Amino acid sequence: MLTATTPLPMNTETSLILFKPDAVEKNIVGTVLARFQSAGFRIRGIKMMQLDHAILADHYSHIADKPFFPEIVAFMSKTPVIALALEGENAISRVRDLLGPTDSKAAAAGTIRGDFGEDKMVNVCHASDSPEAAAAELKRFFRDGEVFA
């Protein structure tokens, strides 16, 4: 168990997790969060927020020219989401392993998306896919002072 004085492992990372509208609507946020905590991750920041077009256009800028972009914006803004800064050893890859593949239909039972997701968009959570993405995403969804050490 880590205490306030325990040094963190050298490969400690913080990932952004967004609990998508389907997780909020199905009331499974606590269940999914418990899986992350049981895997040894620590909450460093958490908040509920309503996403607007500006933040979604920034977050999904890599697919803004795709025909399905308006559908993603509509889905991600239909209810508030919960943004989570989650810390742990090799957090980025381990979180993604716990989630399973983006397409919930291809996700194995026992993964979060395999147990609770429906398809490529309705898939419970977004998670950072690299340290660079995590840094940008955490900055996008959390203000200075909202992620704690």
Percent of the chain clearing pLDDT 70 (strictly above)? 94
E strands, 21-141, are 42-49, 81-89, 125-127
Tokens 């997701």 correspond to 117
Please give the Cα distance from 31 to 82 (Å, whole number): 13
The dihedral over CA atoms of 119, 125, 130, 136, expressed in degrees to the nearest 10, equals: 120
What is the SS3 assignment for 103? coil
Q: Is 126 a catalytic residue?
A: yes
Is the distance from CB of 85 to CB of 43 less than 8 angstroms? yes
Residues 51-95 have pLDDT tens digits of 999 999 999 999 999 999 999 999 999 999 999 999 999 999 999
Edge to edge, the sheet with strand 81-89 lists 42-49, 81-89, 12-19, 125-127
Q: Go through the domains of the chain in sequence order and give each one's CATH number.
A: 12-141 (3.30.70.141)
pLDDT at 17: 98
Catalytic residue among 53, 59, 62, 126: 126
